Amino acid sequence: MRLIVFVFSIMVLASCQTDKAQVIKNQGQAHGTFYHITYKSPNGKDYYKELKDNMQRIDKSLSTYDEVSVISRVNMNDPSVVLDDHFMAVYNRALDIAKHTYGAFDMTVAPLVNAWGFGYTEPQNTDSATINALLEKIGYEKVTIIDGEIIKEYPDIKLDASAIAKGYSVDQAALLLERKGIENYMVEIGGEVRTKGKNPDNERWRIGIDEPTENNPLTDRQLQRILHISGQSLATSGNYRQYYVKNGKKYAHTINPKTGYPVQHNLLSVSVVANDCMTADAYATAFMVLGYHASIDIVENTPELEAYFILSGTDETPFRVEYSEGMEQFFN
């Protein structure tokens, strides 16, 4: 589950009666979270149903909570499963990002996520013997697709698209709007955002990054930074809300696919800006695995990425912020 980034778009529509009629706002629930979509429709048409249907089709491909989805049937080794376009697009991009992040992003992490109680099954035993046994079945290089058929090195390898699917769904909603001739929109699903053009105030879209405090309620968020973006996507990942405490120890929801254990470092959250939301979504998860230093190295050597990191600080200054040089363009 991903953090919900507060969408700070100001919807002041008093400037022109014609413009007011053309600004459409859709919201609802999808992919186990909430979505908000705002767009300026040239013909005043509301595309709510088409957007909602599109999200449902993506769930039928990529949701592990749907027992008959494509990914669930892959995990159950259903020989009749057909890998649809949604699955293939996400799988291929996930493979690229896995290679680029030294395996920090890995769709085969599903058994570990489930074992630690953050997946789609009940928690399991997490002693060292169990984790070591699960690690033998983890690794993106242990899965290949040949002639449309998925081949696993071990039959009990399972895939999890939760760290990339919402970003992909954001992209698909955005592309649907663009096919309708819409040039000004903001699509947000569960905190993953894609923008184009201007907001109803004829400005860049304003997106807030949460202050990473555990007692920061969803209804009264404190913002660390507001970004001004247009034509970019944004995704944020962090560990300060998704965790549990067992025997006095705190376990974060980000699982390192190399060690098998929840990450333990001082990176509290990372927000990634990229051209598409699927990319931003996956890299945000990978960076939470890698930590700040390895992640900033990747960002500095990947021109299409920018990132904003919030790290733990001291008692006097609880947060420390670092960001790539290119992030400054989104501050004002």
Give the confidence band of 241 by pLDDT, cuts at 50, 70, 90: low
Check residue 214 and give its pLDDT.
Answer: 60
What is d(CA 281, CA 183) in angstroms, rounded to the nearest whole number? Answer: 23
Specify which residues 37 forms β-bridges with. Answer: 26, 187
Q: How confident is the model at residue 126, as a pLDDT?
A: 82
- Is-contact 287 267, C-beta < 8 A? yes
Supply 19's token pair. Answer: 């413009």
- Give the torsion sign (CA, 321, 322, 327, 329): positive
Model confidence band, residue 9 (pLDDT cutoffs 50, 70, 90):
very low
The CATH number corresponding to 59-152 among 1.20.59.10, 1.10.20.60, 1.10.3980.10, 2.60.40.420 equals 1.10.3980.10
Report the alpha-carbon distance of residue 102 to residue 298 in Å, rounded.
10
What are the angstrom distances between the C-alpha of 315 and each of 132, 291, 323? 37, 21, 22
> What does the pLDDT read at residue 107?
98
- Supply 106's token pair: 């890995």
**What ranges do the domains of the chain cover?**
59-152
Specify the pLDDT at position 320: 92
Q: The whole model's pTM is what?
A: 0.89
Give per-residue pLDDT as tens, 12-64. 333 343 444 499 999 999 999 999 999 999 999 999 999 999 999 999 999 99
Is there a contact between 128 and 95 (Cβ–Cβ < 8 Å)?
no
Identity of the residue numbered 114:
N
Convert the pLDDT of each residue in 163-176 to its tens digit: 999 999 999 999 99
Residues in the chain: 332
Residue 177 scores a pLDDT above 60:
yes
What pLDDT is stored for residue 216 in this prediction?
Answer: 52
Q: Is 21 helix (H, G, I), strand (E, B) or coil?
A: helix
Q: Could you read off the pLDDT of 270-299 as tens digits, one per residue?
A: 999 999 999 999 999 999 999 999 999 999
